């Protein structure tokens, strides 16, 4: 389960930021998770709750924002929504769609005190 290492990485980033800002604790972490990122949000939530125990983020709320998949079809020169990494273009049916969005996960915001 790679969500555990992702949760540990998020915690490391959040704690470094909180310490740099002189925070006593982290109250909220907002993550953007792309639909094409291969991240299971509920597994990530479970892992996050486990790794924050005893940290500056212990008890912090985790908010996850869903980012839709997007692609570019060179055959018909249009931006298209993507539900899967290797899907076909909904406009022309071609299979050369390049992913342009929804593949990443990033910390969008943290709230500290």
Q: Give the separation between CA 74 and CA 37, rounded to whole angstroms.
A: 22
Each residue's pLDDT tens digit, 46-81: 999 999 999 999 999 999 999 999 999 999 999 999
Given a cut of 80, is residue 34 above it in pLDDT?
yes
pTM of the model: 0.89
Q: Give the separation between CA 36 and CA 27, rounded to whole angstroms.
A: 28
Given a cut of 80, is residue 35 above it in pLDDT?
yes
Given a cut of 90, is residue 87 above it in pLDDT?
no
Q: What is the mean pLDDT of the chain?
A: 95
Helices 3-20 + 41-51 axis angle, to 10: 50
**Can you name the CATH fold of 3-112?**
hypothetical protein PF0899 fold (3.30.2320)
Residue entry with tokens 């992702």: 6
Instruction: Extract the tokens encoding 72.
Output: 């570019």
**Number of CB atoms found within 10 A of residue 109's CB:** 11
Domain locations along the chain:
3-112
CA proximity to 56, closest of 80, 79, 97, 27: 27
The pLDDT value recorded for residue 1 is 59
Beta strands in the chain (DSSP E): 26-34, 61-67, 69-73, 78-82, 98-101, 105-112
């Amino acid at each position: 389960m790679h969500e555990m290492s992702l949760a540990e990485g998020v915690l490391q980033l959040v704690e470094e930021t909180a310490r740099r800002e002189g925070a006593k604790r982290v109250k909220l972490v907002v993550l953007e998770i792309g639909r094409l990122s291969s991240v299971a949000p509920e597994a990530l939530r479970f892992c996050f709750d486990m790794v924050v125990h005893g940290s500056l983020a212990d008890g912090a709320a985790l908010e996850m924002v869903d980012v839709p998949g997007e692609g570019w079809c060179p055959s018909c020169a249009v931006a298209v929504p993507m539900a899967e990494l290797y899907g076909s273009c909904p406009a022309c049916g071609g299979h050369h769609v390049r992913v342009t969005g929804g593949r990443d996960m990033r910390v969008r915001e943290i709230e500290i005190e």
